[in-house]
Amino acid sequence: MKATVTVKYFEEGEVKDGELMMNGMRSFIFLAAIIFLFSLPAAAFGHGVNIEYQTTKAVEFTASYDTGEPVSNGQVTIYSPDDPSTPWKTGQCDEKGRFTFTPDPSMQGTWDIQVRKAGHGGMIHVNVDGEEAVAGSTGYTTTQIVLMVACVVWGLIGTALFFKRRKN
């Protein structure tokens, strides 16, 4: 059994540095005046909210067994390009074997992702440095496997026939 890991990138809007700006006394007086004058139910208008954002590149992957079944709740270990021996992040796939993470843009290079469950699993190497979104997967297609198996089985039958041949 193996785990097939497919990877794609997508642009992800990320809320960053959510910042609350309180305008202090002036706002308070303004608010109090409104309440007083119009006797409306109070609402907290007084805090200005400033949201900064930036888009970032995320890696989403899906792990499945070669039967097509997802590796549900498979354990994910991610190694960064800077330190391929210490886990950079660990986590767990969802029920459908999916997992998403945002690589640190300051670390360019190949990220190694391992998915494991009950001693079965797979590893995929994702190159995060280009600007374009890429997709990839591990493993061979069924046609390739059938062709390879046919060749090897034919070789083994040939071996059997060679040793079975009549001696002259």
By the 8 A CB rule, do 124 and 138 touch? yes
Residue from 93, 97, 117, 128 touching other proteins (CB under 8 A): that is: 117
Which tokens go with 24? Answer: 């202090």
Residue from 29, 32, 134, 153 touching other proteins (CB under 8 A): that is: 153
DSSP per-residue letters across 53-83: EEEEEEEEEEEEETTS-B-TT-EEEEE-SS-
Closer of 92 and 127 to other proteins (Cβ): 92
Q: By CB under 8 A, tell whether 103 contacts other proteins.
A: no
For other proteins, the binding residues in 48-77 under the rule CB under 8 A are 65-67, 69, 72-73, 75, 77
Question: Which residue in 152, 134, 164, 159 sits closest to 57, CA to CA?
Answer: 134
Residue from 25, 161, 166, 168 touching other proteins (CB under 8 A): that is: 161
Closer of 26 and 164 to other proteins (Cβ): 164
Count, residues near other proteins per rule CB under 8 A:
37
Give the separation between CA 31 and CA 118, rounded to whole angstroms. 60
Q: By CB under 8 A, tell whether 121 contacts other proteins.
A: yes
Burial of 58 (0-12, 13-18, 19+ CB in 10 A): middle
Q: What is the widest separation between alpha-carbon atoms in the chain?
A: 117
Closer of 36 and 163 to other proteins (Cβ): 163
Closer of 55 and 90 to other proteins (Cβ): 90
Give the separation between CA 33 and CA 44, rounded to whole angstroms. 13
Which residues would be at the binding site for other proteins (CB under 8 A)? 1-2, 65-67, 69, 72-73, 75, 77, 87, 90, 92, 114, 116-123, 138-140, 145, 148-149, 152-153, 156-157, 159-161, 163-164
